Chains A and B, each alone.
Chain A
Amino acid sequence: MEQYFVLKKKSFNDFVSTMAKKQKVVAPIEKGNNQYAFEEVKSGDEIATGYIPTILPPKKYFMPQNETIAKFDISSGQNMEPVVEYEKMTIFGVRTCDLAGIQCLNMVFSDRPRDLNYLIRKNEITIVGFECNDYCDEYASCRLVHNHTPNGGYDLFFTDLGDKFIVHVNTLAGEEIIGQSNVFEKASDQDIKMLNILRTKKREIFAKNEVPIEHENIPGLFDKSYNSKVWEELEKKCVACGNCTNVCPSCYCFDVVDEPNLDLKTGRRSRKWDSCQHETFAKVAGGESFREERGARQRHRYFRKFKYPMDKFSRFFCTGCGRCSRTCMAGINLKETLTVLVEEHGMKNPNAGEVRIG
């Protein structure tokens, strides 16, 4: 299998429309005000260039917001049939932070008991990654969590080399896409050299962490941070809208609801996105709430990114995409929160990173 191919930019439209004829293609499109969203496209010129992370990450295709998981009929006995909703599609333009997000979801839903709905759907999705040559904006912290360069999780991976893209082939599904159209050429040694130059330049751009702490010291930081004052600060700021978790590429909490039809006999069981930031999520039967304060719910979110998944899966569930900070009306900023924790515990190391808060 050839590993690298090139695609001239003037052939990009042909490539996308060929792909779109075979199966549904979704890609980032511009929504105005420097906001982007993954939506279905038919040709290359609909796709945004230079896009920052989309409003919602591509997780919306892996775990739909409102998914039917079963149908029931109680007109004679209690009949229930499982349902899996899936669709063949290609997601084009997935940034490295979002590739990491999908890898997180894969781990969670492959864990036992395995989530067949997720796994069946995932098998139908082809992923085309897209490299960031520079920072998207000041909210990103991808260097801190080592997601500024690709770590797998894609079928094809595009890197912009000026007048052409160099494309890394990672899977058979990726190879098939290359074979479908005649617009790809084998990459020359010169192309590979250009890719290496770009990656070297990226090492300079992403030279230091976005927060002044070493990657490997973050778990230790969170071991000490449960009773930090910073959570009280977040208590004052947070309005518990839940946007931070909805836009997070690795948040996967959901609610399951039975919805009868008007005959009250047949109906569907659905799974919907939920958020640990909502009061109704924290409340349990009997009206007790284990995380009554907004600050406690925010702390839980941070621990679910930097501590608990580290203990369980040995990886951070923060992908560094910056969406939570970008979307927060109250101005709760992940880099800022981490920096306060780092300073509070005397773990600041300017050699590891710089405090750069947007």
Chain B
Amino acid sequence: MAKPKVGFFDFACCEGCQLQVANLGEMLLDVLGAIDVVEFREVMSEKGPEKLDVAIIEGSITDKHAIERIKKIRERAGVLIAYGACACIGGVNGMKNNFKLEDIRKEVYGDRFKYFDSVETKAVHQVVKVDYFINGCPVYIPEFVAVLKCALQGIPYEVPDRAVCVECKLNENVCMYQKGVTCMGPITKAGCNSWCINNNNICYGCRGMVSNPNEKGAKDIIEKYKVPMDLIVNKMNMYNKCREIDKREQKKR
């Protein structure tokens, strides 16, 4: 059987998640043994064929040109994978949605702003259908490999819909809240093996929020630890502002 043809594409992002693939080390050889990379601007000049088996998308959708481009890639690809926080949940680019578009354009492009369009920042699934999500800023390499294997087998990958606290506890980290530090672990989806907290950093919520949180219970906890609500909301919006678009769409239905 021929190896599946895979293309990497980037939209609004820092391209750091693509670098993570280059950082795979020895495992990169196994990955290249399993797939045929036909398009990957970060590491090669060639362009892929019209039909792709898998498209891996990094970055969020932030202008009209990007909308057209992602729709074309979707048409070319059998399977589409959103890759990294910007693609999966909008990521830090979502902070743009806190402001008026015109103000943003003026700030960035000065008096030439009229030549540059801009649209509300969206995650990839808010524009086209996404088959797999690889969350994180950057992506967690073992999860990238796990998702890739699922895609190659044609079976679903379930992002763990439980708090980072679960993995953090299994790693026997001292809870950040016990150290008096506010951490987004309790409301953020697991799957990263509490990577940041293992390294003495807090969780920033880059993997998106758990889907069915106990809001009342979470509020009680925030009050118990005397964390101001607006601080939590700001921290949440750093990566998760685009969740408002999902909520809006749900209401429409």
Q: Which residues of A contact B (CB under 8 A)?
A: 31-33, 35, 37, 54-56, 65, 236-243, 246-247, 259-264, 273, 275, 278-280, 294, 327, 329-331
Contacts and interface: CB of A to CB of B under 8 A. Distances in A.
**Chain B interface residue count: which class?**
35 or more
A264 B170 contact: no
B186 interface: yes
B47 interface: no
Contact of A239 (B158, B161, B163): B163
10 contacts: A54-B172, A236-B214, A242-B162, A242-B166, A243-B165, A247-B169, A259-B149, A262-B33, A280-B158, A330-B221
B128 to A, nearest CB: 26
> For chain B, what secondary structure do more than half of its interface residues adopt (helix, strand, loop), or is it mixed?
helix
Secondary structure dominating the interface of A: loop
B32 to A, nearest CB: 10
Contacts of A329: 165, 175, 177, 186, 221, 224
A260 B155 CA distance: 12
Interface string B151-182: 01100001011110110011011110111000
B217 interface: yes
Contacts of A65: 170
B34 A56 contact: no
Given A31-B172, A35-B174, A55-B172, A241 B149 contact: no
B170 A241 contact: no
B161 A279 contact: yes
B207 to A, nearest CB: 15
A264 B218 CA distance: 41
A280 B232 CA distance: 27
Contacts of B213: 239
B99 to A, nearest CB: 32
A275 B30 CA distance: 33
B145 interface: yes
A238 B217 contact: yes
B172 A56 contact: yes
Given A247-B169, A280-B162, A329-B221, A263 B34 contact: yes
B218 A56 contact: no
Given A239-B214, A262-B33, A275-B166, A280 B174 contact: no
A330 B163 CA distance: 14
B217 A236 contact: yes
Contacts of B212: 279
Contacts of B148: 262
